[in-house]
Chains A and B, each alone.
Chain A
Amino acid sequence: MSNTITKNLKTDEMILNMGPQHPSTHGVLRVELKLDGEKIIEAEPHIGYLHRCFEKHCEALTYPQIIPYVDRLDYLASMNNEFGFVLAVEKLLKIEIPERVEYIRVITGELQRIASHLVALGTFGLDVGAFTPFLFTFRDREKILNLFEITCGARLLYNYHWVGGVSHDLHPDFLRLTKEFIDYFRPKVEELNGLLSYNKIFIERTANIGVIPVDVAINYGVSGPSLRGSGIKWDIRKNDPYSIYNKFDFDIPVGQGLAGTLGDCWDRYFVRVLEIEQSLRILEQAIAQIPEGDVTSAIPKRVKPNEGISYARVENPKGELGFFIVSKGGVQPMRVKVRAPSFVNLSVFPEIAPGHMVSDVVAILGSLDIVLGEIDR
């Protein structure tokens, strides 16, 4: 009888390996899940599949030679990575940067932030089953990559920010095209909201899932949109301003728990949507204010800082990216340590995953917006 069958049925705990080759892990990440039925009891990410000894390489390269490698950390936000690295070296060298260079860095950095957020939003939708928004966001990201292409010839890995300047000046058409892009792109955010943000199915999949409480977020060093999704107004551009960010007027969007609980996947997602608008605001101000000038005048012939340590951090699309450099006075650093935002953000995953279903793992990983290139380094 069926009655006796169900009576003696036992559910055992089982181990499920997710990845390393799994499209929703955004790279080669293996998550070991201990399951009771569909429910997660324990989760442990295993990383290192993309480890390519970045930090060891740095010790055998001169400072300018490291910049192309830095591009490959978070390959969706190469401009921002370069920005952080050159700031750390410039801090060691104590050199002044021409104003035009600062503006170019901010403009390229904010464009890159939008591009990175578009990938994050699109692939997040893809992870939870929405295919169309992915195509829409990639269509718009393409336009940003075109802008970068006329700036420095490369679409993804630029080697554009150099210590003391940028490799060459902006293309004469760049500012006009960027303005056109802003006018074109602004209405598209609304389109994305209608397609994905307020989509009932999407909200069902993401609201109340993967809640990171405020104290856990701070204790685990979570940063960027993932931290702001938990309702904390913390942005390096405002709280510890670098470059010329204190000249611009912009807001820090934070999660408010509009769809469910404060700090859930939807909040983290929506913070990114709101941040795109703030980046557009910064871009408009920067384009209006950018002065003329020489962009290569401050580039030192030989980068040889004095002995000492420096830590510089920037607000990357994923969170706080920091470079810790120990110099012994040579042309090569003695030690470069990267504070990769994705690495730290992923470390909170074992804390928040238990209690959720297997399908929610995909939503949580997507909302943390990790890039394995900088986790494994």
Chain B
Amino acid sequence: MKSFEEILELLKSNFSGENDISSSKEGTEDIINVSPSLIKEVSKFLASTEGLEFDSLILLSGVDDENGEKVKQEDESIDITGGTLSVYYHIESVKLVHKLILKVSVERENPVTTSVSSVWGCANWHEREAFDMIGIIFNEHPDLKRILMPYDWEGGYPLRKDYRNPEFYNGMKVPY
């Protein structure tokens, strides 16, 4: 079992580079921020290094950070430009019983990161959900398609803060 600081140091020494790995505190939780280009390598490292052995991904959640520039539209809805979308990875080691939270932030206009489904199998469906709901694109994902919404849904990503219902879906009126 390793402490948060030890894990952070270990990651920093293995993945050198400006701003690639950093830590922050949100509320009471310590978080390791990882750049999108590195997340797969970092995950592999965390899963396979002796003494860390994060063998299980508990939860992968996409979040719209709502930190861009907001413009109010005529119909009271808002448009957001700029800012970030984030992915939180809650991982843990069943063997060594320790937990960690990773966070990857991507630009709202270009939400591309790398899939970790080759490291943790359950990331497959979680990433599909993050894509479906928030619109984050995971490169190298084996089958990135919608999961909860219909496959032919073209109305956008429902959990984005500036989401608006489309008027029609397959000829059917959507708002009721």
| Residues of A bordering B, CB below 8 Å | 47-48, 51, 53, 55-56, 91-92, 94, 216, 218-221, 232, 234, 239-240, 306-311, 313, 320, 322, 324, 326-328, 334-335, 337, 339, 343-344, 347-348, 351, 376-377
> Distance in Å from the Cβ of A28 to the closest Cβ of chain B?
13
Residues of A within 8 A of B120 (CB): 219-221
Q: Cβ of A328: which chain B residues have Cβ within 8 Å of it?
A: 66
**Interface contact B28-A308, CB-CB below 8 Å:** yes
Whether the pair B64, A335 counts as a contact (CB closer than 8 A) is: yes
B-side contacts of A344, CB under 8 Å: 122, 125
**Pair B121/A347 contact, Cβ less than 8 Å:** yes
- Beta-carbon contact of A232 and B27 below 8 Å: no
In the complex, 10 of the A-B residue pairs with CB atoms within 8 angstroms, ordered by the A residue number, are A220-B121, A221-B58, A221-B122, A234-B94, A310-B27, A310-B28, A311-B101, A322-B59, A327-B27, A347-B125
Q: With A221-B58, A232-B94, A309-B88 as given contacts, are A347 and B124 in contact (CB-CB < 8 Å)? A: yes
Interface members, chain B 23-38 (any A CB < 8 Å)? 26-29
Complex Cα distance, B55 from A44, in Å, reads: 24
Q: Does B174 interact with chain A (Cβ within 8 Å)?
A: no
Residues of chain A lying within 8 A (CB to CB) of residue B159: 55-56, 335
Contact assessment for A48 and B55 in the assembled complex, using a CB-CB cutoff below 8 Å: no
Most chain A beta carbons < 10 A, residue from B28, B57, B148: B148
A232 to B56, CA, bound (A): 13
Chain B residues packing against A (C-beta within 8 Å): 26-29, 55-59, 61, 63-64, 66, 88, 90, 94, 97, 101, 120-122, 124-125, 133, 146-150, 158-159
Q: Are B28 and A219 in touch, CB under 8 angstroms?
A: no
- Bound Cα distance A79, B88 (Å): 27
**Residues in B whose Cβ lies below 8 Å from that of A234:** 94
Q: How many Å from the CB of A5 to the closest CB on chain B?
A: 40
What is the CA–CA distance of A322 and B101 in the complex, to the nearest angstrom? 14
Contact B158 A343 (CB under 8 A): no
